[in-house]
């Protein structure tokens, strides 16, 4: 630690400087405030120990300069009189502590030890905060060709204000990309406001997005600031845009064109400076062609399209991503669990839930790794690879009995769920199974379902 000592009394200065040097501090000593000030302006210190009463430039002035030029630096003031007022003033100005002369060098050393500890915690905090930011904020991992291309696009378009349409299957990183676009761009200091369009009831969406005035409708007791206004100066992220109700689509189009919103029940349009990023899991163009999405809005949104490839098309990213998730979960020491066999099975698997599924899988490894037989459990999970086809005639690899049964089970469940549009009661009836049995079997197989069947 580098320390600046400013003291006009020769004996005190020399004694303190020697004690501190013996303790391993790198000490720069000065006799006057003027000299001290020059040092503060030209060199960086961790700690300043200064007398309060110095000719011309006093300790308080040094303190002010230090707070200004080196805010990280801690200042201890020494005063010859028990003039508590000046000492208190020093504390108010940001001094770490004060010592009343005469004091033993040990007293100073104790105070310095406190600073050391304080700094250590502070450094750790900074480190943790950076780490958190690094992870939350949007590190997009990937070295495969499609991901490198994607990163290039992200970098290129982060700086402008065009609307971006992010498309990709569930769990491919659409929101991550949206956040990256926001934080690599010039709006990084503004808000990033995510809105899940499919989670908000249709009747509420307009007032949630654009806000409403007091009394706009029954129940509107006070003015409500909508998501768009909250994103002013920043970015709004409209997720699942395909779910945007058709009657509202024309309003959204107008907002995008005019760059202003009108609150529900409010007369005056409000000018806004918001970047719009939208995401969808479905083929929006096809939806527009089928008249299920306004074509004009589609073209307005599709200014910069970004397509996220599914994980099965970039399997070379799997080891990199898996390592990243170990570190993210603070389990760096467990990365070695990713042995060649496990990685091989991971690469064979098709990851229908994409990167999110891989992230959950890593969490599973971390959680299970202390239990004997964990590898079997995990490879069991991976062998439920629904996309995997049975071997062709003539090939010498056959599935195990378990795998075969599982595949067949899945096939029949898929059929029943598709036929009943994901209605589990009807599907169970079709199969002659109790509903609860079908549900628990599906859950055991780790599949989810919606109105188009099993996902």
Ligand X SMILES: Nc1ncnc2c1ncn2[C@@H]1O[C@H](COP(=O)(O)OP(=O)(O)OP(=O)(O)O)[C@@H](O)[C@H]1O
The residues that touch Mg ion, with contacts defined as CB under 5 A, are 175
For 172, which DSSP code? S
Q: How far is the CB of 174 from Mg ion (least distance, A)?
A: 5
CA-wise closest residue to 39 among 64, 5, 10, 83: 5
The upper half-sphere exposure of residue 3, i.e. CA atoms within 13 Å in the direction of its Cβ, equals 28
For 266, which DSSP code? -
Q: Rounded to whole angstroms, how far apart are CA atoms 105 and 111?
A: 10
Q: Which is closer to ligand X, CB of 173 or CB of 185? A: 173
Give the one entry of ligand X, Mg ion, none that residue 185 binds, where binding means its C-beta sits below a cut-off of 5 to 8 angstroms depending on kind.
none
Q: Could you tell me which residues come within 8 angstroms of residue 283 by beta carbon, excluding any fewer than 6 positions away?
A: 167
Q: Which is closer to ligand X, CB of 142 or CB of 352? A: 142
Q: Rounded to whole angstroms, how far apart are CA atoms 284 and 249?
A: 13
Given candidates 36, 59, 173, 352, which one binds ligand X under the rule CB under 6 A?
Answer: 173
Give the one entry of Mg ion, ligand X, none that residue 242 binds, where binding means its C-beta sits below a cut-off of 5 to 8 angstroms depending on kind.
none
Q: Which is closer to ligand X, CB of 212 or CB of 324? A: 324
Given candidates 6, 115, 318, 355, which one binds ligand X under the rule CB under 6 A?
Answer: 355
Give the one entry of ligand X, Mg ion, none that residue 176 binds, where binding means its C-beta sits below a cut-off of 5 to 8 angstroms depending on kind.
ligand X
Q: How far is the CB of 377 from ligand X (least distance, A)?
A: 22
Q: Which is closer to ligand X, CB of 356 or CB of 418? A: 356
Q: Which is closer to ligand X, CB of 32 or CB of 153? A: 153
Alpha helices in 96-172 (DSSP H): 105-136, 145-158
Q: How far is the CB of 415 from ligand X (least distance, A)?
A: 25
Residue 174 interacts with ligand X (CB under 6 A): yes or no = yes
Binding mask 36-55 for ligand X (x = CB under 6 A): --------------------
Q: Measured at the alpha carbon of residue 331, what is the angle toward residues 329 and 334, in degrees to the nearest 5?
A: 135
Q: Which is closer to ligand X, CB of 7 or CB of 317? A: 317
Radius of gyration, CA atoms only, the chain: 32
Q: Which is closer to Mg ion, CB of 51 or CB of 169? A: 169
**Cβ atoms < 10 Å from Cβ of 29:** 19
Residue 176 interacts with ligand X (CB under 6 A): yes or no = yes
207: β partners: none
Kind plus residue range of the DSSP H or E element containing 208: helix 202-210
What is the helix, strand, coil percentage profile of the chain, to 5? 50, 15, 35
Q: How far is the CB of 280 from ligand X (least distance, A)?
A: 9
Residue 172 interacts with ligand X (CB under 6 A): yes or no = yes
Give the one entry of ligand X, Mg ion, none that residue 385 binds, where binding means its C-beta sits below a cut-off of 5 to 8 angstroms depending on kind.
none
Residue 410 interacts with ligand X (CB under 6 A): yes or no = no
Residue 7 interacts with ligand X (CB under 6 A): yes or no = no
**Cβ atoms < 10 Å from Cβ of 317:** 20
Residue 359 interacts with ligand X (CB under 6 A): yes or no = yes
Residue 242 interacts with ligand X (CB under 6 A): yes or no = no
Q: Measured at the alpha carbon of residue 382, what is the angle toward residues 381 and 383, in degrees to the nearest 5?
A: 95
Given candidates 7, 46, 51, 175, which one binds ligand X under the rule CB under 6 A?
Answer: 175
CA-wise closest residue to 166 among 306, 10, 370, 325: 306
Residue nearest to ligand X (CB): 173
Please give the C-alpha separations between residue 286 and each of 164, 173, 198, in angstroms, as whole numbers.
18, 22, 19
Q: Could you tell me which residues come within 8 angstroms of residue 369 by beta carbon, excluding any fewer than 6 positions away?
A: 334, 337
Q: Which is closer to ligand X, CB of 157 or CB of 272? A: 157
Q: How far is the CB of 276 from ligand X (least distance, A)?
A: 16
Binding mask 131-150 for ligand X (x = CB under 6 A): ---------xxx--------
Q: Which is closer to ligand X, CB of 76 or CB of 279? A: 279
Q: Rounded to whole angstroms, how far apart are CA atoms 248 and 204?
A: 11
Give the one entry of ligand X, Mg ion, none that residue 356 binds, where binding means its C-beta sits below a cut-off of 5 to 8 angstroms depending on kind.
ligand X
In this structure, are strands 270-271 and 260-261 parallel, antiparallel, or unpaired? antiparallel
Q: Could you tell me which residues come within 8 angstroms of residue 389 by beta carbon, excluding any fewer than 6 positions away?
A: none
Q: Rounded to whole angstroms, how far apart are CA atoms 308 and 375?
A: 31
- Which residues within the stretch 243-282 sit at the binding site for ligand X (CB under 6 A)? 281
Q: Which is closer to ligand X, CB of 173 or CB of 453? A: 173
Binding mask 275-304 for ligand X (x = CB under 6 A): ------x-----------------------
Stretch that binds ligand X, among 59-67, 289-297, 353-361, 363-371 (CB under 6 A): 353-361
Q: Rounded to whole angstroms, how far apart are CA atoms 269 and 263?
A: 8
Kind plus residue range of the DSSP H or E element containing 409: helix 401-419
Binding site for ligand X (CB under 6 A): 140-142, 168, 170-176, 281, 321, 324, 355-356, 359
């Amino acid at each position: 630690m580098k320390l600046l000592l400013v003291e006009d009394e020769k004996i005190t200065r020399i004694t303190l400087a020697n004690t501190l040097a013996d303790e391993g501090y790198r000490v720069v000593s000065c006799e006057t405030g003027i000299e001290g000030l020059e040092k503060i302006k030209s060199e960086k210190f961790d700690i300043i120990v200064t007398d309060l009463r110095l000719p011309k430039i006093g300790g308080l002035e040094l303190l002010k300069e230090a707070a200004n030029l080196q805010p990280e630096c801690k200042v201890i003031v020494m005063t010859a009189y028990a003039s508590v007022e000046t000492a208190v003033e020093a504390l108010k100005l940001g001094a770490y502590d004060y010592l009343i002369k005469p004091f033993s060098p040990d007293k100073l050393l104790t105070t310095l030890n406190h600073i050391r500890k304080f700094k250590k915690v502070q450094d750790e905090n900074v480190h943790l905060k950076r780490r958190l930011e690094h992870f939350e904020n949007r590190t997009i991992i990937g070295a495969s060709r499609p991901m490198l291309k994607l990163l290039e696009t992200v970098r290129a378009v982060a700086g402008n204000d065009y609307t971006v349409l992010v498309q990709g299957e569930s769990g491919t990183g659409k929101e991550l990309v949206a956040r990256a676009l926001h934080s690599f761009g010039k709006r990084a200091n503004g808000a990033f406001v995510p809105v899940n369009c499919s989670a908000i009831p249709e009747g509420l969406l307009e007032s949630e997005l654009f806000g409403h005035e007091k009394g706009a409708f029954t129940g509107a007791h006070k003015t409500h600031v909508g998501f768009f206004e909250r994103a002013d100066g920043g970015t709004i992220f409209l997720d699942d845009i395909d779910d945007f109700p058709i009657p509202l689509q024309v309003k959204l189009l107008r907002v995008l064109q005019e760059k202003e919103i009108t609150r529900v029940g409010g007369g005056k349009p409000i000018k806004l400076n918001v970047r719009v990023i939208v995401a969808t899991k479905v083929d929006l163009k096809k939806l527009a062609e089928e008249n299920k999405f306004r074509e004009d809005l589609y073209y307005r949104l599709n200014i910069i399209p970004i397509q996220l490839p599914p994980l099965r098309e970039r399997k070379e990213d799997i080891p990199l991503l898996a390592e990243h998730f170990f570190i993210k979960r603070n389990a760096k020491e467990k990365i070695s669990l990713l042995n060649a066999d496990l990685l091989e099975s991971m690469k064979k698997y098709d990851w229908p839930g994409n990167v999110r599924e891989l992230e959950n899988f890593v969490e599973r490894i971390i959680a299970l790794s202390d239990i004997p037989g964990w590898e079997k459990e995990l490879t069991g999970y991976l062998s439920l690879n629904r996309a995997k086809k049975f071997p062709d005639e003539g090939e010498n690899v056959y599935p195990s009995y378990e795998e075969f049964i599982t595949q067949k089970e899945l096939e029949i469940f898929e059929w029943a769920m598709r036929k009943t549009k994901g209605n589990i009661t009807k599907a169970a009836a079709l199969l002659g199974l109790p509903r609860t049995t079908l549900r628990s079997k599906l859950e055991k197989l780790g599949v989810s379902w919606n109105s188009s069947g099993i996902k």
